[in-house]
Amino acid sequence: MMVKKLIPLALFWTYLFSSSAWSMDFQIYSAAGVKLPMVQFAAVFNGLNPGDRVVNSFDTAGAAEKHFFEDANSSCLITTESRINEALRTGRLKASAPIALADTVAGIASSSKVRQPIETSEQLRKVLLNARSIAFSDPARGATVGRYFQSLIQQLGIEKEVMAKAILASDGVETMKLVKSKKVELGITQVSEIIQAWPESLLGPFPGDIELATRYSLWCKDPHQAQMAQLISLMQSTWGSRVFTDNGLRPVRKP
């Protein structure tokens, strides 16, 4: 009888001290511009840490930030450096400093085989006016490129014409799905998202005088926690830099 009582107890302690009982999920909310690199980082991390795992969630820069603050169990946020700095300034984020990861620029993707030059503001203006349809991320959802593009077409004096044929996507990933399926002629999003979805569709970045450069930074609640420190080291390693580069981003050198 005593043996029968001890068996369930032994099983309980075996479970309690097993890796699965003590496993941890690290929920990371990221801007869609770093989707493919983060998928790769998560796959390597999860393979090195049986029982622990990185759980990725992607959206626009603004929506990712919103979801991060709404989730009490969130671990890290990857969004634009300016958004993180503003959250630190207002006290929404505290303690740990942000870690600069990579830079990208906004650009144009085309579902057409015809390559059109966009080296000047006037050339870009003509391309936008001649396009049959244009997709870009909804500015109301906090999309970095979407908000900039809306102000840009105002600056170029073609807002009415562009918006009449525009489709607002939920984020850059959805923008590229519209381009790839040829539901729109042009897609406006981060160059990194274009390269990650359909490299051949890239017309090029915006002209230099109206370029939109974005730096993505990482902020974690506990960057010194062992597993999280390992993940950050992966991102900042030589291999991590290559992952960013291969996906259309320019890695920021570790200070």
Number of H helices, E strands in the chain: 11, 10
Contact 31, 144 (CB under 8 A): yes
Distance of CA 147 to the CA centre of its chain: 16
pLDDT the model gives residue 86: 97
Q: In the chain, where are the structural domains located?
A: 23-103+214-251, 105-213
What CATH number does the domain located at 105-213 have? 3.40.190.10
Neighbours of 207 (CB within 10 A): 15
φ/ψ region of 181 (left if φ > 0, alpha if ψ in -120 to 50, else beta) reads: alpha
Is pLDDT of 254 > 90?
no
Alpha-carbon distance of 163 to 15, in angstroms, equals 58
Confidence of residue 7 (pLDDT cuts 50, 70, 90): very low
Model confidence pTM above 0.75:
yes
Of all residues in the chain, what percent carry a pLDDT higher than 90? Answer: 86
**Average confidence score pLDDT of the chain:** 91
**Can 23-103+214-251 and 105-213 be said to share one CATH topology?**
yes
What is the second-level CATH architecture of the domain 23-103+214-251? Answer: 3-Layer(aba) Sandwich (3.40)
Mean pLDDT along residues 88-112: 95
Of all residues in the chain, what percent carry a pLDDT higher than 70? Answer: 91
